[in-house]
Structure 1
């Protein structure tokens, strides 16, 4: 019998001072059985950093041809494609041809540094690709906020994210690599 996804609910009050976006997000995160808590929280952080109308989680790990998060226009064309981790260059090339903008959020610093050194020369040619790195220690702080039902406050200012719940608060610096 196949394992099923674990469902998490997140109510996020967001104030993005950089983009002038303010709202309340009522999100459902399905954690794939093979997905770590850290990776799930990277998905949540990436969503919060790019929050806007029509942004949605995809089938992610369950579907090879889809990103983790995307934004489609009203005709179905992909405006924003968000990837996580260290995908191969072929996947990023395909994404850059299918979407107006591609964002990649790397985590697991040591592995990401090696991956970046091996791929940065190829990825520089993709004009619509931006690559970011998330600090492991900060991500570990965010992972301590995981509950089946989460109530979070997010403030984005000067490209920094403050994420908090009733007990904890964590600054997340997202470093732009490209």
Structure 2
């Protein structure tokens, strides 16, 4: 018998002063049996850092990347179904990123492994033709502290100011400073 996804609920209160985005979001997150808390919470962090101010151009949703390799971890589709933003968590290969770059207006990757610099140095030169690609590194200690906050039902307060993310729950808080390895040109 196949294992089923575990459902997590999060009420995310966002104050992103860097982008001028504020709001409350009720998230339902399906955690694949092969996914750990760290990766799931990185998806939540990526949502908070990329959610648009309004849904006029479509909303940001969790996709089925672990079930369907043709989908990202998160995506924003406009009202016509056009892919606006492709977001992956982890260390995708250069072929996947170039394919995503051809399909979406923007592509973002959030990597939180201690081997991120090695992964990035191996594919950086292959992505020079991807001007709409952003690569972000989250320090492993910060992502592990983020994972420790995971619960089946969460109240998350997220503040973003001067490039630093402050995330807190009833269990505690963590400060995360994403490091840009590549920004869109």
| TM-score of the alignment, normalized to the shorter chain, above 0.5 | yes
Q: Aligned ranges for residues 84-103 of structure 1 at < 5 Å?
A: 84-103=89-108
Output one character per residue of 1:22-80: Cα deviation in whole Å (capped at 9) or x when no partner.
Answer: 11010011110001111111111101111123000011210111110001111110110
Whole-Å Cα distance in 2 between the matches of residues 69 and 167 of structure 1? 26
Pick from 143, 146, 149 the counterpart of residue 145 of structure 1.
149
- Residue 61 of structure 1 is matched in structure 2 by 66
Deviation at 1:84?
Answer: 1.2
Deviation at 1:152?
Answer: 0.8
Whole-Å Cα distance in 2 between the matches of residues 153 and 39 of structure 1? 19
Whole-Å Cα distance in 2 between the matches of residues 6 and 167 of structure 1? 20
- Residue 45 of structure 1 is matched in structure 2 by 45
- Residue 173 of structure 2 is matched in structure 1 by 169
Deviation at 1:20?
Answer: 0.9
Deviation at 1:167?
Answer: 3.5
Q: Aligned ranges for residues 102-113 of structure 1 at < 5 Å?
A: 102-109=107-114, 111-113=115-117
Give 5+ residue unaligned stretches, structure 1: none
Count of residues paired in the alignment: 177
Q: CA RMSD in A?
A: 0.9
Whole-Å Cα distance in 2 between the matches of residues 47 and 167 of structure 1? 20
Instruction: Provide TM-score, normalisation by structure 1.
Output: 0.97
Whole-Å Cα distance in 1 between the matches of residues 110 and 45 of structure 2? 9
Output one character per residue of 1:80-138: Cα deviation in whole Å (capped at 9) or x when no partner.
Answer: 000111111111011000000000111112x2121111111111221010100001111
- Residue 12 of structure 2 is matched in structure 1 by 12
- Residue 124 of structure 1 is matched in structure 2 by 128
Runs in 1 of length 4+ with deviation above 2 angstroms?
A: none
SS in 2 for 1:42: helix
SS in 2 for 1:60: coil
